[in-house]
Structure 1
Amino acid sequence: LPPRIFSFTPTNAPAATTVTITGTNLLGASAVSFGGVTASFTAPSNNATLYATVPVGVVTGPITVTTPGGTTNSTDLFYGPPIITGFNPTSGLAGTNVTITGTNFLNVAAVRFNGLNAIFYPTNIGLLGAIVPAGASTGPISIVTPGGTNFSTSNFVLNYTADLRLTISDAPDPVTVGGNVTYLVTVTNAGPFAAPNLRLTNTLPAGASLTGVGTTLLGSLSTSPSMVIVSVGSLAVGGSGTLTVTVAAPGYVTTLTDQASVRCDYSDPAPADNDVTATTIVEPVARLTISNAPPNLVRVSWPAGLTNFGLEYRASLPATNSWSNYLTTPTTIGDESVITEPHANAARYYRLRRLP
């Protein structure tokens, strides 16, 4: 008599799973297949039950049993697990049509981009199309069928970009040893997308002590002896904010270099302005020293680091007597700028003045 399959359980399973097939006239079975893929089985001991093993590479389709009485197919389908073997393109934006290839795509219930449901249109058991949904983020593609859920081994990359622009300024410049200099860092998002997880990092000048910090950005701010970091959840298109860092200039350097950088989770189409620096001149204290020098000279000296100062003089202090520039070029001796002149005047007054 011809065999018949009434039911089987489970109705979907991975390879090597035992499936119980119930029916009639199963005794003497000589072949079992799942979706056309040959499966191993245990010879039935009665007409009503047969045990088969899901084969490797199982394809969604009916279970087929062959006996001396003929061949029969189940009316229900056995669902093999879906497998994604590739997709094209591998990157894009919301609205991009993506072709997904693989196996066991029959009766697809959902297609997701990093967990976000997408519109899809099945083509056949090994091919389907999907549209990248709005709000999708970089991550794997997953397919849900009655046979289970499968994730792509590689990520679909969302080509979001955010053009972050960074500027920096310092004041005062130059700064006197021990004095404070303030660096103003400004970040702007020129789009076209909001910048998620923005991180603004300011590396303090070597040897400088942090004396003040502030920001207009809405996020968290952390400090260390060498660094200030601002973290912002998202900076909107057209949004901007500032970080203000104030440091004290140490006495053993001639310049201070402050560095700032900005990054977010999206790529930047023009990254050249994501890293900026400002260099500040550090001046010694403007101290003028006057002393006698043998045999009959006046020695006037000041720190050689004061390169943007000039020496001036006048014969008396009343306001009616104006200051004159000392035109002789000073001599550098060690860390001093020095001029000498004879005691040729009843009185002479000197001062240092910052050059314009």
Structure 2
Amino acid sequence: MPISPNQGSTGGGTTVTITGTNLSGTTAVNFGSKSATSVTQVSPTQVTAVSPSGTGTVGVTLTTPGGTSNPVPFFYVGAPFKSSLGATSGPLAGGNTISLNGTGLSTATSVSFGGVTATPTVSSDSSLTVTVPAGAAAGPVGVSVTTAGGTNNGLTYTYVDVPTITTVAPTSGPTSGGTAVTITGTNLDSTDSVTFGGSPAPFSVINATTLSAVTPPGTAGAVDVVVTNPAGSDTEVGAFTYIAGPGI
């Protein structure tokens, strides 16, 4: 007498299909010593029942006017606990793979990002990976994991859109570097790096539309300014010009 699924939440509520023979007239389905909260006769060979709350492993039995069946094991699973995300932000287009750590993840069937679900790859009871689906809009969304034990929320993932550069001011400075530059644009609050001619520059995020950076030393001439965040990069070609100092 197989049952499917053979595991469910400790809180109960799992609909289980029991398949066998001579099941007509089923009067009761028990999970250990507890009665199922609902029993439905589907056919002479199939019955569905909703599990009550419980813990550990219990025997499921079915009773008809002809007697009670042999017990079949059913495993109660606790709700998952999520402790951390391997990455807490990524591109609005999705497609990046991140890890999720916690406990009770071995039976995970889906991970939801703001209501959009993805199917995870389970590595162990404490770890899984999932490819992030595309987001509806830039910004934070709740992350939930569904397992045989239930659904757990509590983590946040932030969708990030590609940055854009509108202005760089001032547009020139000495080759020795050290020029304070203001960069304006969009989606700048998640900036990972700023480069001038390929050289990284120290920077501070002012807000979503403004960055403050200090030019690194460079070679005389115009160089590209590049701003990068988890969603990608934007390049302002020849936006800053290094000027050589006078020589005598």
Same fold (TM over 0.5): no
Shorter-chain TM-score: which interval?
A: 0.3 to 0.5
Normalising by structure 2, what TM-score? Answer: 0.43
Normalising by structure 1, what TM-score? Answer: 0.32
Which of 1 and 2 has higher RCO (CA within 8 Å, sep 6+)? 2
